[in-house]
Structure 1
Amino acid sequence: MSLRILITGAGGYLGRRLLEHLRQQQPHWQLIATSRRTPFAQAAAGLIWQPLDVSDRVAVQAAFAAHRPHAVVHLAAVLNPPAGMSHEQLRTIEVDGTRHVLDAALAHGCQQVIVSSSGAAYGYHADNPAWLTEDMPLRGHPAFAYAQNKVAVEALLDDYRAQHPQLKQLILRIGTVLGPNTDNLISDLFRKRWVLGVRGSQSPFVFIWDEDVVEIIRLGLLEQRSGCFNLAGDGAVPLAQIAAQLDKPFIAPPAWLLKGALKVLNYWQLSQYHSDQVDFLRYRPVLCNRRLKEQFGYTPRFTSEQALAAFIAAQSTAAPA
């Protein structure tokens, strides 16, 4: 079966890994890779690259009209916004961009949309249950535009699913992605000389290996799957254990002290983190993957602990002698 797959955000880490995986596993598929800024070094068989800003409604409609994809994998998002990017700009890219993709998909006969949501949509709250399942409320967090935008995106998807049931939706609430070359806010925390936590909080992390994520997307496309699934390896790893596995000191000041320190550091532009983001470390959303295993039929090859170990091993191999 030959499919045309349009991928937004294809220039990002996960997008590049997905392109590589699909080209290997589904060589007869035609891939339309779109990205706001990042061009690809060269064209390849079965791959079309097209610059695309999903916040531009007209451009999105034109791209879908030109390629008429059978399915779209919508990865476009801004996890680590550049300095000066406002919450309004982020919302235009992530929420309005999703609306533009959905409208174009409907207008041009697309059969399926796969959307990368996030465990961040559940939010960072003291009363989060020990394990979060897909039927629990999405509460986001006012200090994190990314989390708030994911909540808004999923509300938008709910509306479109009710009004346009013919367009299959596969929503993936992804935990912290690790891979050999992962470079994000979390991996940046782990590359520092120490691991920072919050006193009195275990701060357990769930990890998902990047190869598991792209294989789940491939299977979702191949089988035209729909539904909503948490993506995480089995188990969770507390920050103190992460520090031990990294062989780094674990520093856990009280929340009030950490907030004060971050406020000063951020004022002097010495930290990318804000004082109101302490909840990000203190109240981690821990994703239950039971539905992924039982209903989707996929068990991640790496547990959270194994994914962390593989990431550490890859960093050690890449480190200069």
Structure 2
Amino acid sequence: MGKKVAITGVTSYFALTLLPKLQADPEVDEIIGIGRRPWTGGFDKLTYYREDIRSKKLFDLFKGVDTVYHLAFIVGEIHDKGKTLDININGSKNVFQACAANKVKKVIYTSSMTAYGSHSDNILGFKEDAELKRNEDNYYNSSKIDVENFVTDFFRDYPEITLTVLRAGLLVGPKINNMFSDLWSMKISALPAGRTSHNQMISEEDLGEAMYLPFVKNLPGIYNVAADDAVPTRWCFKATGAFVIPLPIFLLKLVAKIAFKLHLFPASDGWVSLSEYTIFCNTEKFKKAADWQPKHSSKEAFMQFVASRKRDAKDTPKQALLTFLYTTPWLTKLSLQGLNALFYVIEKTPIIRDIIPITNPHKNNMTYLPTNKNIVDKTLKVVEVNESLGETINEILPQKVLDDMIDTYSYHMVMDTCICRTGYQCKNFTNEIGCMFMGETAKKLPPGLGRRVTREQAHDHVKRAVSVGLIPMTGKVNVDNLGFLTPDTRELFSVCFCCHCCCMMGYYKHSPEHQKKLFKPVEGLHVRVNQNCIGCGKCIETCIFDNIIIENGAALHLDHCVGCGRCQTTCPNLAVDISVNNPNYVEDVKNRLTSFIKVS
């Protein structure tokens, strides 16, 4: 029997460096992932639980767990300092107490080199036995010290549990998406005048390996882990193209404090204090104990981040405006609400809805590809001896359509985030899985919103979206031409990964009869409610088109059902059956969609 691993903060940047190694380890059977944000997908060994680390449910979740990684910690600053400290300190205590109660074998906690503090008398080359010194105005440094003091004292009473504490350098690389990437991405920045602080970093690859080693080896104790060099803070900002303004330290703290309170800046004055002086550590202890060497210098790791931010081309002024609009949540929400109002007016006005491009049935044709794994294939199966086979359960039948379309097109563009989930601040699904576009027009979309990907990466993007419960909606969507201010030349194939709570496709519900002209279910797909239905209404809550009603105590699908499959995945009583009775459904759907869109 293999090992069971639990990870708190599994949606964090730290966790994403570790998960591929645990996923690939044949000795790991199961990963229990715990986080507060929507799951970002991938890793089939992982079962995700959306829980607060202060919850007593952790005592149940850790049952049978061999190793616990405690990675959950508020890094990006929030305005509620009381909540921050409660999560960071009391949440951590709860995690460690749950570990002890379940007699886990190993606890691996990621601390930070910032625990040494940023002070004028800092030495170069802190060793693990050096004093941890507070920056009183910085919650992160203080919290790390408090948690370290607690965890090292707490586990003295549990000598049978191996405790490893990793004081990590500043993690940076191509996948970074946090407060620091926001800071480095600013076009104008300010630094303390007269200061020459340096940053000792660690690459994604090196941290992932450093966190994995205590799992496969016995490494009790506290260790510094980082690259062997450090880079000047000023150089980091210049490498990203930022214009740096030197300010006196008191003025910089004042500006940061005011800007943070006004939600104009991602960090307050406490982070100015923590960046004022260099924190540089000696990592020889971990190198020797774990037989570990960093593969990347701080400079190399940072340049990986810089390279990841570069696009094939720069935004034109028009594209830059769109990028700003669709990456600023309140502006995005305002735009989406305006679009919904526009759709309402158009859909309620029959004389114009067949003429306006965004609702014209001759310019739009969309199909949902349900991702349910228990869709029944009712087509006749024939084996070599000509024996007919009965109904069979297939693995995500309609998704084959999308896989084929990806292989057909030569240009694929994936958006960095979902516009709808960004605008509405989605609470149920991650906004980090954006739409995908294919075709010649996709080349004209704002580079600041996404990136070109290979066919393999496009397939992986679909798998990731499906793994978190998003449903692909594909086809000719004229509103995308409007939204990106590109002419409709019938060369944009859109793939939206829809959720039930935010997706703008629901705007088409204002006219059910007209909706039937725009959305076509997969050819041969049928949705039926069976005798298990008790009329609970769960399916109604997830139907963005209002296509389900309760009649005579049971759910009833109206004739404009789009066949998305949400009702089946939501139903707690297995009362919805979905079947496909068309052996040529893949070609039929592809032929219909490509009659509206040119393939290139």
TM-score, structure 2 normalization:
0.50
Count of residues in correspondence between the two structures? 315
**Counterpart in 2 of 1:47?**
46
- Which amino acid in 1 is paired with 2:46? L
**Counterpart in 1 of 2:216?**
222
- Which amino acid in 2 is paired with 1:30? E
Instruction: State the Cα distance separating 1:195 from its structure 2 match.
Output: 4.5
**1:253-272 alignment runs, 5 A limit:** 253-266=247-260, 268-272=262-266
1:185 counterpart = 2:179: yes
Instruction: State the Cα distance separating 1:317 from its structure 2 match.
Output: 4.4
Task: Output the CA distance in 2 between the equivalents of 1:302 and 1:196.
Answer: 28
Q: Report the secondary structure of 2:192's partner residue.
A: coil
| Residues 278-287 or 104-113, more deviating | 278-287
Q: Report the secondary structure of 1:278's partner residue.
A: helix
Instruction: Give 5+ residue unaligned stretches, structure 2.
Output: 314-446, 449-600
CA contact 2:190–2:252 (8 Å) conserved in 1: no
| Residues 175-184 or 238-247, more deviating | 238-247
Task: Output the CA distance in 2 between the equivalents of 1:148 and 1:188.
Answer: 23
- Which amino acid in 2 is paired with 1:22? L
Q: Report the secondary structure of 1:104's partner residue.
A: helix
Q: Evaluate the alpha carbon distance shift between residue 304 and residue 60 of structure 1 in structure 2; reply closer, same or farther with a 3 A threshold.
A: same
Task: Output the CA distance in 2 between the equivalents of 1:9 and 1:276.
Answer: 23
CA contact 1:27–1:46 (8 Å) conserved in 2: no
Instruction: State the Cα distance separating 1:299 from its structure 2 match.
Output: 0.8
Instruction: State the Cα distance separating 1:86 from its structure 2 match.
Output: 2.6
Q: Report the secondary structure of 1:197's partner residue.
A: strand
**Counterpart in 1 of 2:59?**
61
**Counterpart in 1 of 2:5?**
5
The C-alpha deviation readout for 1:220-259, integer Å capped at 9, x for no partner, is: 1011322211121111101233244334433222213323
Instruction: State the Cα distance separating 1:273 from its structure 2 match.
Output: 3.1
Q: 1:213 aligns with which of 196, 207, 213?
A: 207
Task: Output the CA distance in 2 between the equivalents of 1:288 and 1:124.
Answer: 16
Instruction: State the Cα distance separating 1:45 from its structure 2 match.
Output: 3.5
Q: 1:237 aligns with which of 209, 231, 236?
A: 231
**Counterpart in 2 of 1:82?**
78
Q: Evaluate the alpha carbon distance shift between residue 159 and residue 34 of structure 1 in structure 2; reply closer, same or farther with a 3 A threshold.
A: same
Q: Report the secondary structure of 1:282's partner residue.
A: coil
**Counterpart in 1 of 2:14?**
14
Task: Output the CA distance in 2 between the equivalents of 1:50 and 1:243.
Answer: 37
Instruction: Give 5+ residue unaligned stretches, structure 1.
Output: none
Instruction: State the Cα distance separating 1:38 from its structure 2 match.
Output: 2.3
Higher relative contact order (CA 8 A, sep 6+): 1
**1:1-321 alignment runs, 5 A limit:** 2-26=2-26, 28-41=28-41, 45-56=44-55, 58-65=56-63, 68-83=64-79, 85-87=80-82, 89-266=83-260, 268-317=262-311, 320=447
Task: Output the CA distance in 2 between the equivalents of 1:114 and 1:295.
Answer: 15
Which one has a bigger Cα radius of gyration?
2
Instruction: State the Cα distance separating 1:202 from its structure 2 match.
Output: 0.8
- Which amino acid in 2 is paired with 1:20? P
Q: Report the secondary structure of 2:110's partner residue.
A: strand
Q: Evaluate the alpha carbon distance shift between residue 270 and residue 245 of structure 1 in structure 2; reply closer, same or farther with a 3 A threshold.
A: closer
| Residues 278-287 or 296-305, more deviating | 278-287
Instruction: State the Cα distance separating 1:69 from its structure 2 match.
Output: 0.5
Work out the percentage of aligned pairs sharing the same amino acid. Answer: 26
CA contact 1:117–1:172 (8 Å) conserved in 2: yes
CA contact 1:168–1:225 (8 Å) conserved in 2: yes
Task: Output the CA distance in 2 between the equivalents of 1:60 and 1:305.
Answer: 39
- Which amino acid in 1 is paired with 2:89? V
Task: Output the CA distance in 2 between the equivalents of 1:173 and 1:302.
Answer: 18
- Which amino acid in 1 is paired with 2:73? A
| Residues 231-240 or 69-78, more deviating | 231-240
Q: For the aligned residues, what is the CA RMSD?
A: 2.2
CA contact 1:4–1:32 (8 Å) conserved in 2: yes
- Which amino acid in 2 is paired with 1:62? D
- Which amino acid in 1 is paired with 2:21? H
- Which amino acid in 1 is paired with 2:81? S
- Which amino acid in 2 is paired with 1:315? R
Instruction: State the Cα distance separating 1:268 from its structure 2 match.
Output: 4.0
Task: Output the CA distance in 1 between the equivalents of 2:172 and 2:137.
Answer: 24
Q: Evaluate the alpha carbon distance shift between residue 40 and residue 262 of structure 1 in structure 2; reply closer, same or farther with a 3 A threshold.
A: closer
Instruction: State the Cα distance separating 1:90 from its structure 2 match.
Output: 2.1
Higher strand share: 2
Task: Output the CA distance in 1 between the equivalents of 2:260 and 2:70.
Answer: 32
Task: Output the CA distance in 1 between the equivalents of 2:216 and 2:29.
Answer: 10
| Residues 202-211 or 256-265, more deviating | 256-265
Instruction: State the Cα distance separating 1:289 from its structure 2 match.
Output: 1.8
Task: Output the CA distance in 2 between the equivalents of 1:311 and 1:40.
Answer: 20
| Residues 301-310 or 19-28, more deviating | 19-28
The C-alpha deviation readout for 1:58-93, integer Å capped at 9, x for no partner, is: 21112123xx1111001111111433x233x22222
CA contact 1:176–1:186 (8 Å) conserved in 2: no
- Which amino acid in 2 is paired with 1:54? I
The C-alpha deviation readout for 1:263-313, integer Å capped at 9, x for no partner, is: 443454432333454212212322222222223221111011111111111
Q: Evaluate the alpha carbon distance shift between residue 286 and residue 177 of structure 1 in structure 2; reply closer, same or farther with a 3 A threshold.
A: same
Q: Report the secondary structure of 1:11's partner residue.
A: coil
Task: Output the CA distance in 2 between the equivalents of 1:218 and 1:277.
Answer: 29
